[in-house]
């Protein structure tokens, strides 16, 4: 296996039937009879499906209210117990690296783990290409023995193809994750991520297909509906379909990171399901971690953009942006972004990735230095033959300028 997800994602099959996001109560949450993953029957791996019809997922006029027989309730309880037993086996990680396109690759995951991250997601992988192309698999998915617990995330809209992709990784991870939260234009074009929220029967079929065939638990990363009622119905659907963990980005499909994440909605999700829940949104330093866990009751938190700037976040380090002027409760932690950059490069030498990914992390970690010394940034932009040696020298050059951007820790 080699590099993690780097390619643009498109070309997934567009279903013909869509269910309105404005009336989730029209979809009956009625199936409790999924076998717990410890007792699931493995289906035979089939060739890639070249065509799927949206007619496989007809519209339904159901009520959100449902009743369960004692036998299906019993099986549902056993499924919950399995979900929690697995989570406890993983030592219930609370500090988690979120999936990031071209950013949560193996070297970056390992850097974050060094500084306190307790679990991590791969970047999003395209299920159809992953299932069909050995070359794509070998280039886009890399892991190692120390890279656990690990969530491997796929996008997709075809249950058979998604399952075939998942079969390739279930022995190398702790959860197979379905991306139901990507709000980007490419997800709209490919009909995956948060845009599957328009077709709940399809989502149900994706989760059920994996949950009833894999030996590894299934997780889902989602966004909120504008209506809390719809969101609650949505997460109950996921739980009843066999999902063992739900990661909730506390924003809707149309909201961006400049808007405050809705931790209250995540709290409502946590109180509505009986499986582990992770909170995502506005985790910038460890004070945010503590507040989020306390307010939401979530079982863990995820961070994305803040880690790109400061991969040592979960180690208690924070940038000067989050230390108030005159606050004497913090001190220089002895780590700066230059050191983090060097440590990241050494990991890249051990676990090779393409230079484009490295360049993105250079801008993430050294961006403040570049703002202070634009001539160094300009030289970096002009360099046509980037190498590890060049970036090491550039870090030395920036340090020699005498301007430092330390990371701070709380005084003991």
Beta strands in 54-118 (DSSP E): 95-97
Is residue 175 helix, strand or coil? strand
71 pLDDT higher than 70: no
* Residues belonging to the chain: 412
For 238-270, the three-class secondary structure string (H helix, E strand, C coil) is: HHHCCCCEEEEEEEECCCCCCCCCCHHHHHHHH
pLDDT at 79: 83
231 pLDDT higher than 90: yes
25 pLDDT higher than 50: no
**Of the candidate ranges 2-16, 174-188, 296-310, 369-383, the one whose mean pLDDT is the lowest:** 2-16
pLDDT tens, residue by residue, 329-348: 999 999 999 999 999 999 99
pLDDT at 326: 74
Catalytic residues: 182
pLDDT at 78: 72
pLDDT at 36: 34
85 pLDDT higher than 60: yes
- Nearest to 124, CA basis, from 7, 223, 203, 241: 7
Q: Crossing angle for the helix pair 355-372 and 388-400, nearest 10 degrees?
A: 10
56 pLDDT higher than 60: no
How far apart (Å, rounded) are the C-alpha atoms in residues 361 and 351?
Answer: 15
Max CA pair span of the chain: 71
In sequence order, what are the beta bridge partners of 382?
A: none
Instruction: List, in sequence order, the alpha helices (H) in 317-387.
Output: 337-350, 355-372, 374-382
* CB 52, CB 158: distance < 8 Å: yes
* Residue with the two structure tokens 């009843």: 240
- Distances in Å between the Cα of 30 and the Cα atoms of 34, 40, 62, 328 are 11, 20, 10, 56
4 pLDDT higher than 70: no
- Nearest to 201, CA basis, from 260, 159, 169: 159
- What are all long-range contacts of 351-355, with beta carbons under 8 Å and residues at least 24 apart? 351/106, 351/107, 351/110, 351/142, 351/144, 352/2, 352/3, 353/3, 353/4, 353/6, 353/105, 353/106, 353/107, 353/142, 354/3, 354/6, 355/386
**Of the candidate ranges 27-41, 232-246, 247-261, 375-389, the one whose mean pLDDT is the lowest:** 27-41
How far apart (Å, rounded) are the C-alpha atoms in residues 407 and 403?
Answer: 13
pLDDT tens, residue by residue, 86-132: 999 999 999 999 999 999 999 999 999 999 999 999 999 999 999 99
């Amino acid at each position: 296996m080699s590099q993690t997800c780097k390619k643009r994602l498109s070309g997934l099959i567009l279903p013909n039937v869509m269910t309105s996001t404005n009336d989730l109560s029209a979809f009956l949450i009625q199936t409790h009879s999924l076998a717990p993953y410890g007792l699931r029957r493995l289906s035979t791996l089939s060739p890639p499906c070249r065509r799927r019809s949206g007619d496989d997922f007809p519209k339904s006029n159901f009520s959100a209210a449902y009743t369960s027989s004692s036998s299906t309730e019993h099986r549902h309880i056993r499924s919950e117990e399995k979900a929690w037993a697995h989570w406890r086996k993983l030592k219930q990680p609370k500090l988690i690296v979120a999936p990031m396109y071209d950013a949560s690759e193996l070297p970056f995951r390992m850097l974050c783990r060094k500084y306190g991250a307790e679990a991590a997601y791969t970047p999003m992988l395209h299920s159809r290409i992953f299932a069909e192309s050995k070359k794509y698999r070998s280039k886009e998915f890399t892991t190692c023995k120390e890279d656990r617990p690990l969530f491997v995330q796929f996008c997709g809209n075809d249950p058979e193809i998604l399952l075939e992709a998942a079969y390739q990784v279930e022995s190398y991870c702790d959860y197979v994750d379905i991306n139901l939260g990507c709000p980007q234009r490419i997800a709209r074009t490919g009909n995956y991520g948060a845009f599957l929220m328009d077709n709940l029967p399809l989502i149900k079929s994706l989760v059920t297909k994996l949950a009833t065939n894999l030996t590894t638990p299934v997780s889902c990363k989602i966004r909120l509906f504008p209506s809390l009622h719809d969101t609650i119905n949505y997460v109950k659907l996921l739980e009843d379909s066999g999902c063992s963990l739900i990661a909730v980005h506390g924003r809707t499909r149309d909201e961006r990171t400049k808007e405050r994440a809705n931790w209250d909605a995540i709290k409502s999700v946590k109180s509505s399901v009986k499986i582990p829940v992770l909170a995502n949104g506005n985790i910038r330093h460890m004070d945010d971690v503590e507040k989020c866990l306390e307010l939401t009751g979530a079982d863990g938190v995820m961070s994305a953009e803040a880690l790109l700037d400061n991969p040592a976040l979960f180690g208690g380090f924070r940038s000067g942006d989050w230390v108030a002027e005159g606050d004497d409760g913090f001190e220089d932690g002895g780590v700066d972004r230059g050191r983090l950059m060097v440590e990241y490069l050494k990991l890249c030498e051990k676990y090779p990735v393409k230079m484009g990914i490295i360049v993105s992390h250079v801008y993430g970690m050294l961006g403040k230095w570049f703002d202070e010394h634009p001539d160094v940034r300009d030289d970096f932009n002009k360099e046509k033959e980037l190498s590890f040696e060049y970036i090491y020298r550039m870090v030395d050059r920036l340090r020699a300028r005498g301007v430092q951007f330390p990371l701070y820790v709380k005084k003991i």
